[in-house]
Structure 1
Amino acid sequence: MDLGRLGVWYPTDRLDAAGLRALLGVVEGHGYGTLWYPESTGYESIALAGFLLANSRRLAIGSSIANIYARDPFTARRALATLNRLHGGRFALGLGVSHVPLVEGVRGHRYDKPVPAMRAYLEGMRKGGKGAPEGKVLLAALGPRMLALAAAETDGAVPYNVTPEHTRQAAQALGPGKVLAVEQKVCVETDKARARALGRKELARYMVLPNYVNNWLRLGFTEADLAEGGSDRFIDAMVLSGDADAVKAGLRAHFEAGATHVCLQPVTEEGDVAARDAMIAALADT
């Protein structure tokens, strides 16, 4: 399975069926290797993957991430095998522990310690069949312990909301031969004030989640950087902005740090499909 050099990450819950088909056409038409999607409170991850695979021709489709509290390990393994058998081996299963509000508040489960919970889940997947799973299994790994688990037990990692410095650390932790597919938010916008305003709006939902906050503090951001919507330094690191050349340089920094794949997430006003598609087109040759 080839994820390609570049992918696109998109919050698919915002789109209906026609919108999803249009997005697939844009991403595939500009030569990207993979479309990545989340699992939050909208579309169910595996059902959505089937739709995306059925409505594309060559794109790899990756969950970023499928919530381990949403389905048992046996089901996850069978879902991975089913999608790959029926769609030419084009599905990558990114797994994550999600966050307390989504696990306990929405799903009604108890949120366990992330690394032991993920280790037990992967063990359950191994017990669910003979041999290796039929397709790539990747972890949403931020901290050193989850990265070590990804290196030891899976095909690699799909870090989210990170910097090239984190990418460097993750590449070292994973070692050679592993997938390191890094998400990076982008805004092709030369008005810095507008780009930062869009970035703050997009990041607000993540800045109340301890998993991300703790990782940002490990990366050298301060409590002050994360206060009042985020400092300019923090926002500029999380959302690359400027003209297309400036954004491309920021994306290339992840490759230079050891990423094997970078998936860009266009940051626009919600519903501004024209701006989204223009950014995807402008950055396709990074």
Structure 2
Amino acid sequence: MRRHELTDLEWELLAPYIPRAATGRPRVSDRQVINGMVYKIRTGVSWRDLPERYGPWQTVYTRFRRYALGGVFTRALQQIQAETDAAGDVDWMVQIDSTIVRAHQHAAANRQKGGINRTDEPDDHALGRSRGGLSTKIHLACDGRGRPLAILLTPGQRHDSICARPLLESIRVPRIGLGRPRCRPDQVIADKAYSSRGFRAYLRKRGIAHTIPERTDQRRHRHNRGRSGGRPPAFDREIYRRRNIVERCFNRLKSFRGIATRYEKTATSYQAAVSLASFLLWARSA
């Protein structure tokens, strides 16, 4: 096994979800091609610069694109989450946060007239203008051990509070056997960007405990209203100390250079790359 390639355990976990051709001419080994995808995401090289040991770069790219459109890596991620949850090893004290990812100039080609236009691809390709320039924002929900539970991509200028509900609603950990997927955390930890009356009311309605600090302007506004301002929201500083777990999860994801900088033109491909990297984080925590 070379550096930046799948271990035997990682391949054993991923192999059942890789589609196999029943007919046709002999093709490049699935493990060889997946290793090429992992190498590309880990190092950030262009598809054309993949080492020859992974086979023709066109083959690696074509299969990656096919798997991205088919949701192969998303299903693999959900399955490893389900198996870990069935073993009782998922900490449902969930942390949410976001991070900005700069987009390389090669990722901006779709914004020109005549770019890629698919029904499953957002019109903006999850690209937008933020203070740092053209960027994408990764919204992440991770469990108490720093492993991704849900991922949401938006343009870089999108505010965190707008995406809080869609992010939590995208948590769906299937059950092994019968039963509905688990969608509700025991508790949510978030920073001040998520502090709003609407989001707190949403969490209370779903029966989810939360630890979110109140913003200074909200505290001042409540004090100015006097008794009609209501009580301050409950806040446990000891629990809030655990919020660094989501930051460490981002650090591990961004150790993949193809995640830390967006080179992919489509949101579908970039989402698949993040899902594959997230799957590896789960596999390596086993």
Task: Give TM-score, length-normalised by structure 2.
Answer: 0.32
Structure 1 or 2, whichever has the larger Rg, is 2
Task: Give TM-score, length-normalised by structure 1.
Answer: 0.32
Larger RCO (CA within 8 A; separation ≥ 6)? 2
